[in-house]
Chain A
Amino acid sequence: MSAAESEPGATGPASYPRRGRVPSPVSSSLQVSWWVMSAPAIIRAEGLTRAFGEVRAIDGLDLEVQAGTVFGFLGPNGAGKTTTIRLLLGLLEPTSGRADVLGFDTRARGGAIREQSGALLEHHGLYERLSAEENLDFYARVWRMDRAARAARIRALLEPLGLWDRRREPVSRWSRGMKQKLAVARALLHKPALLFLDEPTAGLDPVAAATLRDDLGTLVRREGVTVFLTTHNLVEAERLCERVAVVKQGRLLAVGHPDELKARSATRAEITGRRFDDAMLSMLRNQEGVLRADLHNGRIVLELAESAETAPLVALLVQLGGLVEEVRKDKASLEDVFLTLMEEEP
């Protein structure tokens, strides 16, 4: 038993279910939503604030992350994502407010939190002079794994990532994508209950990012770990996360399942054709259910209320002399939601 578990008030990781016990996250968003809401909170922040001089990097953050989920923390550069991870790991003290992670107060029990967490931070943090195997071996020693366990675990993590054959090369010779994969393996080495990932695909080319994202999804499901993922890559968030929070300048703007957030946003329709003009746009804007109508590169882009139908609008355009070639109607993407939130908030 670790010191962290033996102290009064320490919940410890055993109290938190792993992902293996929950339904597959992609099987049904309804099932997942039910599970997510009923699972115990592994992270709970109340009015969490961190200021650097006059600037509030995090401003009154209230947040709950349920055990067994992949939680996305979305925001533009400078939104306070990295600061939030540092606060949750107990590396920084909050200016005001509080946060409990794994049942431990971040202010008083940072060591206990770090004992049971894994982290891939802003930089991969690998020792470039050392080989991949030595890097993992060092951190396995840090987590007090014996020699046999170290060897078995290193192999179990490197083989599925396709890194095993090059494990003895200095990390400095590896590509950035390989280094990021290795850093993910390092973060999972000690089977943590909670994994912090700070923009894991930032700076990777699209192919490397997609590969890492796939590997990450596979590993996270296999390991059954709760993940707190910061990113400004919305495709990544949509693909990996069961719940997301959107932050801007340290303030929380929205939180929920990606589908819930998308449902709050307008439906989008795109009409391609010719002879569209401003008079037609004005007419469209006056129709019921049309929230917004704009002309972009000869295409009419509409934002519609959920109840609005597209067919009468197309008929109106034709009646006014427009030549309609194609009509596309999409639900809002997470990117649309994100951009809308960024525009709405000052």
Chain B
Amino acid sequence: MIGDVLTVAWKEWRELLQVGGTVRGGRLSLAILVAVFGVFLPLQSGAEWVQSPATVFYWGWVPLMLVGSAVADSFAGERERHTLETLLASRLPDSAILLGKVAAAISYGWGLVLVMLALSLITVNVAARTGPWLLFPWRFAVGAPLLALLGAGLAATAGVLVSLRAPTVRQAAQTLNVGVLLLVFIPVLGMQALPDAWQVQAGAWALSVGADGLLWASALLLALLDMALLAAGFAQFRRSRLVLD
């Protein structure tokens, strides 16, 4: 089973690296993304990028942007390019196909975030030039990769779920982009829409649990969402329906 999942993930990775028709084209796209999040934005933020607890939460959100475009292709792309039926006619079990695609998307998003984290640390230190080396506090060193992993999981499972039903990659990508925007704006606008008293209570609760509490609460919420979406993906995966789509 694990071997089958890795086989599907291997193929997905090969395809991701070949976006644009060549390995060079695929790598260039990756390099641009890494440069923006690993160099440009840290340069603008300076030492805050490494030391502020608020930036930990930022890393849970970055994979949503990174993984969306890749995962939209997972099933919708295979359907569009007429490769899905051949894959379904192979000996691979349903779970291996689904988990392989999710694993590839997660490893893609999470791997990029880890590279960006390392690069951003180097960038901030090189830009500061003076004083001792700035390092991530332990909360950041554990929390950022954890939230990034769970964020990548959220994007991957939601993306696979959308891609399973979408007739084209473009439609899947559009649906996912709308989803990401809603995920960002609903909490912000929702908070503002709450009565003042509730807003005060929510602020007080956040202060009482502290940054660590918020980190673990966020991680728990993301983990639950990941599992729910993965379960929905398994429920949606029907060979007969995929063949006829």
Contact = CB atoms under 8 A, between A and B. Distances in A.
Interface of A: 86, 89, 91-93, 110-111, 114-115, 117, 119, 121-130, 134, 138-139, 141-144, 170, 172, 196
Interface residues of B, number: 27
A276 B19 CA distance: 68
A93 B240 contact: yes
Nearest to B88: A91
A328 B86 CA distance: 47
A340 B90 CA distance: 38
Interface of B: 3-4, 7, 10-11, 14-15, 18-19, 21-22, 81-83, 85-93, 239-240, 243-244
B21 to A, nearest CB: 7
B16 to A, nearest CB: 9
A127 B240 CA distance: 22
B89 A91 contact: yes
Contact of B90 (A126, A127, A142): A142
8 contacts: A91-B89, A114-B90, A114-B91, A123-B86, A129-B14, A130-B11, A142-B90, A144-B3
B89 A89 contact: yes
B85 A170 contact: no
Contacts of A125: 82-83, 85-87
Contacts of B15: 127, 129-130
B83 A142 contact: no
B89 A129 contact: no
Contacts of A86: 243
B86 A121 contact: yes
Nearest to B92: A142
Most buried by B among A127, A128, A144: A127
A127 B91 contact: no
B21 A129 contact: yes
**3 nearest A-B pairs in the assembled complex, by CB-CB distance:** A125-B86, A123-B82, A129-B18
Given A121-B85, A125-B86, A129-B21, A141 B10 contact: yes
B100 to A, nearest CB: 10
Contact of B85 (A123, A127, A139, A144): A123
Most buried by A among B7, B90, B243: B90
Nearest to A110: B239
B21 A172 contact: yes
Contacts of A124: 82, 86
A93 B89 CA distance: 14
A316 to B, nearest CB: 58
Most buried by A among B21, B82, B91: B91
A134 B243 CA distance: 24
B7 A126 contact: no
A138 B92 CA distance: 12
B85 A114 contact: no
Most buried by B among A115, A119, A129: A129
A121 B90 CA distance: 11
A141 B81 CA distance: 21
Nearest to A2: B91
A170 B87 CA distance: 19
Contacts of B14: 127, 129-130, 134, 138
Given A93-B240, A139-B90, 10 more contacts: A121-B89, A123-B82, A123-B85, A130-B14, A130-B15, A138-B10, A142-B4, A142-B91, A144-B3, A196-B89
Nearest to A139: B90
Nearest to B18: A129
A121 to B, nearest CB: 5
B85 A111 contact: no
B19 A129 contact: yes
Contacts of A139: 90
A124 B239 CA distance: 18
Contact of A91 (B19, B21, B22, B240): B240
A122 B83 CA distance: 10
B89 A119 contact: yes
Contacts of B240: 91-93
Contacts of A115: 91
B41 to A, nearest CB: 30
Given A92-B243, A142-B7, A144-B3, A126 B18 contact: no
A287 B19 CA distance: 72
A135 B91 CA distance: 16
A123 to B, nearest CB: 4
A191 B105 CA distance: 32
B78 to A, nearest CB: 9
Contacts of A93: 240
B89 A127 contact: no
Given A122-B85, A123-B82, A126-B83, A91 B7 contact: no
B239 A91 contact: yes
A122 B86 CA distance: 9
A245 B67 CA distance: 49
B94 to A, nearest CB: 9
A143 B85 contact: no
Contacts of A92: 240, 243-244
